[in-house]
Amino acid sequence: MPRGSISLNLRAAWYLSKLCHPHMKARGGGAVVNMASTSGLHHDIGLGIYSISKAALIMLTTVCAKEWARDGIRVNALAPGIVRTELSVPMVSWLQEHGEKPNALNMIGEPEDVARLVRYLVSDESRYVTGDVIRIDGGELL
């Protein structure tokens, strides 16, 4: 499992970005959005390796943003909290069963919430944003 987390959450992003870099550079720029997690910003019990892999992805985002800026390539990361997906079903069920609030807004994010932020980050509207980690978590870490 640990190796799988590192491969999926860090290596895959690195190799894909590395493959895209020369094409974006040749076009005069581009945007990369890495999908981190609030778990990469704080440790969740039982998710140690996952948290480590997402924290490393956040550092990869920072490194690439700094090194690729000269090529006109912006690199950012999103750190979603709980978003309604197949993988979050057990966590959402547990929260509901125990009457726990998932975050300050007491809501579960929807995939569309994340998609809208990705759309912004790859558009020219975010031309001055790079090297950032944007939490989209309903106030989970407040």
CATH assignment at residue 70: 3.40.50.720
Q: Is residue 42 part of a domain?
A: yes
Q: Which range marks the domain in which residue 93 is found?
A: 2-136
Q: Is residue 112 part of a domain?
A: yes
pTM exceeds cut of 0.85: yes
What pLDDT shows up at residue 114? 98
* Number of other residues whose CB lies within 10 A of the CB of residue 107: 15
Q: Is residue 141 part of a domain?
A: no
Q: Is residue 67 part of a domain?
A: yes
**Structure letter (DSSP) for residue 136:** E
C-alpha span between 124 and 35 (Å, rounded): 20
Q: Is residue 24 part of a domain?
A: yes
User: Is residue 50 among the annotated active site residues?
Assistant: yes
Q: Is residue 85 part of a domain?
A: yes
Asked if 84 contacts 141 with a C-beta cutoff of 8 angstroms, the reply is no
Amino acid of residue 42? H
> Cα 52 vs. chain centroid, distance in angstroms?
13
Place of tokens 């690729």: 68
Q: Kindly state the tokens that stand for 41.
A: 């910003």
Q: Is residue 130 part of a domain?
A: yes
CA 37-40-41 angle, to 5 degrees, is 105
Residues 55-94 have pLDDT tens digits of: 999 999 999 999 999 999 999 999 999 999 998 999 899 9
Q: Is residue 98 part of a domain?
A: yes
What residues in the chain have per-residue pLDDT under 50?
A: 1
What pLDDT shows up at residue 1? 40
Count of domains for the chain: 1
From first CA to last CA, the distance across the chain in angstroms is: 30
Secondary structure class of 30 (helix, strand, coil): strand
Q: Kindly state the tokens that stand for 124.
A: 């020219």
